[in-house]
Structure 1
């Protein structure tokens, strides 16, 4: 029974109709659970949605804890390790904010508003119910070394550019924080216009920063696209 429950609650095979139905049901529940976040009003219908969806999330969490031994394959200790896995923590963060709704006596407004922000983590629960999202996560996992190098290069470039503009225009950039903010905006070629260079040398540095920023931003995009293409080919090979 535990094995069959595990097959159903995990992202199932295409020929497992019950598993696919469960995935669809949970995706719909996640989407519905986020509806109250679109309004600051405390409507009765929102409270009902919150109560129903959190009960479903709790049931899902219990089932996953019940089948933790099959997922982690660590024996009895799996039941102790599972609550500390990334997805289990996200599940808890998506459940805890609604506990205040189920307990009528626990209505501290400030704590409730603070905890409501954690409901955003319900979006991340969708990761385990979609093969496409799982493939994208696998791409980031497999390409993490290359992405870390690119991110490190981008951070180094931001700091160097900030240091250069900070010394080139001390009047325009009174603090290093302002210079780092400018360098980040220039790197991403956004250009909000709230902080900008005014001198000739400063404008020249900005042009160089913007041009090089295009190349730096394009690097991770190319890595992710190549990795996703490889993941698609691997997925097709498994299906064949």
Structure 2
């Protein structure tokens, strides 16, 4: 009985769906902080100067996080039988957990972290682990906000799609026009519509890196038109979403 009670407690702490309190359980809060810290350490380790100067510290932190996540993985594997909603045997329930995509990613990261001689770059996998925060938050305090965001985007999807269509049309128009006007003059930059699309994207989004720009009078006029149109097109989704949030909040207060 004591073993089963302990397993229930572990399951309640690790599974957001089993936690009855507000927000995340204390253990999951610690895990979220650990995931963020481990990701930060992995990012800092990609800087050669830091990696060379603090090699020992970064390695120790990596191994420490690896051990922590290994214990968490084993605890989930041990307690997952408490979530058996399909009437499966404990063995089949654990096999089902091990073969789930999130568990496979977690296990790969743990193995590679704790076996340094493999020398495999798992930065992409570490970033994938950040998705676990969203999975935990789905049933935590952020769930209400995420549902509100999804509802607003869903209710305004037609307006957003129209805006996206206008933006795509303007991109193709701008790229095609600059290809026609500047293609022979700057073939390396505007020699094809796909090449000119890079200029159209950075101009329409009002970023304007300055690495590609027209040099003819007609090309500059087209660029000015696309830039001005971009201001309106960028503002439209913001206004649509702002109106959607305003309506959603007003409806909830009724």
2:195 matched to 1:178? yes
TM-score normalized by the length of structure 1:
0.70
Structure 2 stretches lacking a partner, 5+ long: none
Cα distance, 1:207 vs. partner?
A: 1.3
2:26 matched to 1:9? no
Tell me the distance in 1 between the aligned counterparts of 2:58 and 2:234.
41
Tell me the distance in 2 between the aligned counterparts of 1:9 and 1:216.
43
Cα distance, 1:213 vs. partner?
A: 1.1
1:1-240 alignment, distance < 5 Å? 5-6=11-12, 9-10=15-16, 16=21, 19-36=24-41, 37-40=43-46, 41=51, 43-60=55-72, 63=76, 66=80, 76=88, 88-89=101-102, 92-93=104-105, 96-103=108-115, 106-107=117-118, 109=119, 112-113=120-121, 115-130=122-137, 134-135=143-144, 137-139=146-148, 141-142=150-151, 143-144=153-154, 145-146=157-158, 147-170=160-183, 171-172=185-186, 173-228=190-245
SS at match of 2:206: coil
Deviates more, 1:32-41 or 1:150-159: 150-159
CA-based RMSD: 4.0
Aligned length: 226
Question: Are residues 190 and 74 of structure 1, via their aligned partners in 2, closer, same or farther at CA, if it must alter by over 3 Å?
Answer: farther
Question: Are residues 184 and 140 of structure 1, via their aligned partners in 2, closer, same or farther at CA, if it must alter by over 3 Å?
Answer: farther
Deviates more, 1:50-59 or 1:201-210: 50-59
Structure 1 stretches lacking a partner, 5+ long: none
1:187–1:209 Cα contact (<8 Å) kept: yes
2:66–2:110 Cα contact (<8 Å) kept: yes
1:83-121 residue CA offsets vs partner (Å, 9 max, x unmatched) = 787xx54x64465244223235x52x4xx12x2333122
